[in-house]
Amino acid sequence: MSRKLLLANDHVEGIRRLDVYRKHGGYNALEKALKTMTPEQIVEEVKASGLRGRGGAGFPTGMKWSFLAKPEGVARYLVCNADESEPGTFKDRYLMERIPHALIEGMIASSFALGARTSYIYIRGEYFYVANILEEAIAEAYEAGLLGKNILNSGFDHDCYVQVGAGAYICGEETALLESLEGKRGNPRIKPPFPAIAGLYGCPTVVNNVETIAAVVPIIQMTGAEYAKIGVGKSTGTKLISASGHINKPGVYEIELGVPVEEFIYSDAYCGGIRNGKQLKAVVAGGSSVPILPAHLILKTASGEPRLMTYESLSDGGFATGTMLGSGGFIVMDEDTSIVKNLWNFSRFYHHESCGQCSPCREGTGWMEKILHNIVEGHGTPEDVELLWDIQGKIEGKTICPLGDAAAWPVASAIRHFKDEFMQYVTRPQSIKDVKHYYRVHQLAEA
Amino acid sequence: MSQIAFNEEALKTAQRIIARYPKGKEKSALIPLLHLAQAEFDGWLSPETMDYVASLLSIQSIEAYEVASFYSMFNLQPVGKCVLEVCRTSSCWLLGAEDVVRHIEKRLGIHVGETTADGMFTLKTVECLGSCGTAPMLQCGADYYENLTLEKVDNLIANLKQDGSRRTYPKPAPVKIES
């Protein structure tokens, strides 16, 4: 089993409460930070740890922090991105629901490092019950002098608030999130300026994912150098993986980066293999946006090396034969899955969630959804497949925010790796009536 | 002007929420206040309700409309007491969300987007709710119902009906503000 830094105590009874959390070492890192370290030292530790953004982009956190502008007399903000809307991803929900203080402690310590007097946790509206859990934890922290004025007699003042969204995938994009937090529609901003210069209310702002902020706690506790020893190469530390789909043991797993993909899928310590004794067909390894890979390419790289759960190994081969670690939303599909129908499902999602600002995304996502629906219904032509390829290429890289790329990549990769299946749909539509494409719920109940 | 107004308790909650933001940035409270208003006024936002929320924040009504219409959780039409929101994305879909939707449609005699004649249920499909490891699932009010089977869906519908109360998102919990 992997070493656990974030979820070591996730099954301890009452760990949601402050007293139990503290009994298991909670807030020791904050105490260490406030009493023995300068803000600059914490930033250095985070840099040394090699921690990379856990929301999907994988950008080095320490570097992001060091970009934060610090003009005199201007407020700075830390904003936690708890919007978690990437299909296949549910790790942040698990962490916040089980151990809310892990996030709160990370928020306070990170805010100290960044010199932020106020922080906001922007959580998706559907997680309303989780927001209430966080509110309770925050109230406990105020009560214990861990939030508010002069925290632990350090002279550091900090207020942390929870802000609830209202149902929009796009608000996981950091500038759309800031717009939403300012009470507006979630339309991403044009960059530059980046939030580090002009973010919330035009002030310097760092936006970090829940898991990233929570990881700052063990980094302070064990030092960045020790944290960097875990993992492989530039993929340091542990990562929460949300495993779902046709597997025996769906759930959230904390892994040391570097676990072989094959072990992750088949070991009883993780996914426990494919349901009902079926064969593996494909995996979407990092949330619905990242390229889908067929079984042989997810288990081994094109050069025959075992594929590892790291940023580098998963992207080995570029988009031709590789994918991305992304948010760690690991969706497994068995031999009965229709890749074409699944792609239609994904495309419908991106069409629904496009904010409508940029025409390539607004028009392209709807167009792709319609073409795919046509194909799925048996009315497609080979030219439709060519057209899909053409459209996705005209969205990628041509929009203000990465939602356009996120909508294009699944289409490109599905056609790249499963062209035969598309051709079956468009040349022999009568044969697709027999395509089984998802489990029937009553079969599941029997299984 | 309409007669819509928060009761004393809701107004206190609204004021606590507004106090979270820096002076001059009170508009940040718009989404939380729209949630509160939706919970207070029958689960949907009428133009009058949105006008009222806008007046609390001293912003134009159009600023409330444009935000309310952007986010999928705000209902701009009346809804049933229980809005059944079935996740239709990705893992939920791979594991039978379509069956859940069809079953509810048959059971309640309505289609997606419709409300039963007795005003008890509205059926909606929604995009990924972050419950992929416990798929298929649906949300009703603030509650997640996970690892669904058709039997569980039947039980849920029966229980909601028997209970008969409106399921809305809970009002945001009070927040401690340091002065």
If asked whether residues A355 and A296 sit together in one domain, one would say: no
Measured N-to-C along each axis, helices A210-222 and A91-98 cross at an angle, to the nearest 10 degrees, of: 60
In a domain, A95, yes or no: yes
Residue B1 lies in a domain: no
Nearest to B127 among A166, A180, A349 (CB): A349
* A-chain residue closest to B173, CA distance: A132
What is residue B29's DSSP assignment? G
Task: Verify that A326 and A357 share a domain, yes or no.
Answer: no
Chain-wide mean pLDDT for chain B? Answer: 91
CATH number of the domain to which A438 belongs: 1.20.1440.230
With beta carbons less than 8 A apart as the criterion, state whether B174 and B16 touch: yes
Residue B89 and residue B60 share a domain: no
Q: What average pLDDT does range A409-415 have in this prediction?
A: 98
A349 shares a domain with A260: no
Q: A3 lies in a domain? A: no
Residue of A18, A83, A91, A128 to mutate when probing chain B, most B C-beta within 10 A: A128
Q: Which tens digit of pLDDT belongs to each residue from B3-31?
A: 899 999 999 999 999 999 999 999 999 99
Are A373 and A441 within one domain?
A: yes
pLDDT at B70 over 60: yes
The answer to whether residue A155 is domain-embedded is yes
8 Å CB contact of A149 and B142: no
- Give the pLDDT of residue B175: 38
User: Does residue B50 fall inside a structural domain?
Assistant: yes
- The residues in A 265-294 lying below 8 A from B, measured between CB atoms, are 288
Closest residue in chain A to residue B32, using alpha carbons only? A164
Cβ within 8 Å, pair A345-B90: yes
A139–B90 CB contact, under 8 Å: no
Under the banding of pLDDT at 50, 70 and 90, the label for residue A430 is confident
**First vs last Cα of chain A: how many Å apart?**
28
Residues A123 and A135 in one domain: yes
Query: Which residue in chain B is spatially nearest to A91 when comparing CA positions?
Result: B130
Answer whether residue B143 shows pLDDT above 80. Answer: yes
Check: CB of residue A327 under 8 Å from CB of residue A169: no
For residue A233, the distance in angstroms to the closest alpha carbon of chain B comes to 30
Q: What is the mean pLDDT of residues A220-243?
A: 97
Give the confidence band of A436 by pLDDT, cuts at 50, 70, 90.
Answer: low
**Could you read off the pLDDT of A283-328 as tens digits, one per residue?**
999 999 999 999 999 999 999 999 999 999 999 999 999 999 999 9
CA dihedral A372, A376, A377, A382 (to 10 degrees): 70
Question: At which of A312, A334, A356 does a domain end?
Answer: A334
Which chain B residues are within 8 Å of A438, Cβ to Cβ? 93-96, 98
Q: What is the pLDDT of residues A100-141, one digit of tens each?
A: 999 999 999 999 999 999 999 999 999 999 999 999 999 999
Scan residues 77-136 of A and list those with Cβ closer than 8 Å to B.
84-90, 92-93, 118, 124-129, 131-132, 135-136
| Sequence-distant (≥ 6) Cβ neighbours of residue B121 within 8 angstroms | B80, B81, B82, B83, B84, B108, B110, B115, B157, B160
SS3 assignment, position A236: strand
Range of the domain at A350: 339-446
* A125 vs B contacts (CB less than 8 Å): 31, 35, 71, 73, 169
For residue A10, is it within any domain?
no
Q: What is the CATH classification number for the domain harbouring B153?
A: 3.40.30.10
* pLDDT of A444: 42
Tell me whether residue A6 is in a domain: no
The Cα-based distances of B104 to A10, B98, B132 in angstroms read 35, 10, 20
Cross-chain Cβ contact A445/B22 below 8 Å: no
Q: Are residues B65 and B99 in the same domain?
A: no
Pair B66, B106 in one domain: no
pLDDT one-digit tens code per residue, A330-344:
999 999 999 999 999
Total number of domains constituting chain A:
3
* pLDDT at A432 (0 to 100): 72
Q: Residue range A334-361: average pLDDT?
A: 96
Q: What's the per-residue H, E or C state across A145-189?
A: CCCECCHHHCCCCEEEEEEECCCCHHHHCHHHHHHHHCCCCCCCC
pLDDT, mean of residues A386-391: 98
**What is the distance between the alpha carbons of residues B54 and B48, in angstroms, rounded to a whole number?**
10
pLDDT on residue B178: 39
**Cβ atoms B150, B103 nearer than 8 A:** yes
Q: In A251-328, where do the E strands start and end?
A: 251-256, 280-284, 292-294
Asked if A246 and B96 come within 8 Å (Cβ–Cβ), the reply is: no
Q: Cβ–Cβ of A242/B95 closer than 8 Å?
A: no
- Do B66 and B90 lie in a common domain? no
Q: Is residue A9 part of a domain?
A: no
Domain boundary among the residues A270, A299, A334 is at A334
Mean pLDDT, to the nearest integer, of B103-118? Answer: 97
Average confidence (pLDDT) over A142-148 = 97
Over its C-alpha atoms, chain B yields an Rg (Å, rounded) of 18
Sorted by sequence, the CB contacts under 8 Å of residue B98 that are 6+ apart come out as A438, B88
Q: Which residue has the higher pLDDT, A142 or B171?
A: A142
Judged against a pLDDT cut of 70, whether residue A434 lies above it is answered with no
Please report residues of B whose CB lies closer than 8 A to that of A124: 130
Answer whether residue A64 shows pLDDT above 60.
Answer: yes
Same domain for A274 and A202: no
Q: Report the chain A residue with the minimal C-alpha distance to residue B35.
A: A166
> Are A85 and A70 in the same domain?
yes
Nearest CB partner across the interface for A252, out of B57, B133, B139: B133
DSSP state of B122: E
Q: Do B28 and A353 touch (CB under 8 A)?
A: no
- In chain A, % of residues over pLDDT 90: 94
Minimum Cα–Cα distance from B74: chain A residue: A166
| Same domain, residue pair A75 and A214 | yes
Residue A311 and residue A362 in one domain: no
A324: domain CATH number is 3.10.20.600
Any idea what DSSP says for residue A170?
G
Give a yes or no: residue B77 inside a domain: no
Examine the fold and report which residue of A174, A203, A229 is the final residue of a domain before the chain moves on: A229
Phi then psi dihedrals of residue A114, to 5 deg: -95, -10
User: Is residue B95 domain-shared with residue B46, that is, in the same domain?
Assistant: no
Using one digit for the tens of pLDDT, what is the confidence trace for A175-227?
Answer: 999 999 999 999 999 999 999 999 999 999 999 999 999 999 999 999 999 99
Q: What is the mean pLDDT of chain A?
A: 95
In this structure, the answer to whether residues B91 and B130 fall within a common structural domain is yes
Task: Give the best residue of A90, A126, A437 to mutate against chain B (max B CB count within 10 A).
Answer: A126
Contact list in B for residue A283 (CB cut-off 8 A) is none
Q: Note whether residue B170 is domain-resident.
A: no
Q: How far is A304 from chain B (nearest CA, A)?
A: 29
Same domain, A382 and A302: no
Task: Note whether B90 and B156 are same-domain residues.
Answer: yes
Which of B73, B103, B128, B139 would best serve as a mutation to test chain A binding (most A beta carbons within 10 A)? B128
- Residue A365, SS3 per DSSP: helix
pLDDT at A442: 40
Do A201 and A321 belong together in one domain?
no
More confident residue, A210 or B164: A210
How much is the average pLDDT of A5-32? 97
Of the two residues A261 and A433, the one the predictor is more confident about is A261
Partner-chain contact A165 B71, CB within 8 Å: yes
- Strands A159-164, A235-236: pairing is unpaired
How many independent structural domains does chain B possess?
2
Average pLDDT of B123-149?
95
| ipTM at complex level | 0.94
| Segments forming the whole domain that contains residue B46 | 8-70
pLDDT at B168: 80
Place of tokens 């194909």: A375
Residue A283, classed as helix, strand or coil, is: strand
The shortest CB-CB distance from A438 to any of B95, B129, B139 is to B95
Q: Are residues B146 and B89 in the same domain?
A: yes
**pLDDT > 70: what percent of chain A?**
96
Contact A346 B142 (CB under 8 A): no
Helix, strand or coil for residue A214?
Answer: helix
Query: Would the pLDDT of B171 be above 70?
Result: no
| A-chain residues near B72 (CB < 8 A) | 166-168
Is B91 found in the same domain as B47?
no
In a domain, A242, yes or no: yes
Task: Say if residues A315 and A325 touch (Cβ distance below 8 Å).
Answer: yes
Indicate whether A128 belongs to any domain.
yes
Structural domain contains residue B56: yes
A333 touches A281 (CB < 8 A):
yes
Residues A310 and A195 in one domain: no
Contact state of B71 with A139 under an 8 Å Cβ cutoff: no
What is the pLDDT confidence band of residue A443, given thresholds at 50, 70 and 90? very low
Q: Which of B146, B61, B153 is nearest to B104 (CA)?
A: B153
- CATH number, domain at B28? 1.10.10.1590
Same domain flag for B66 and B96: no
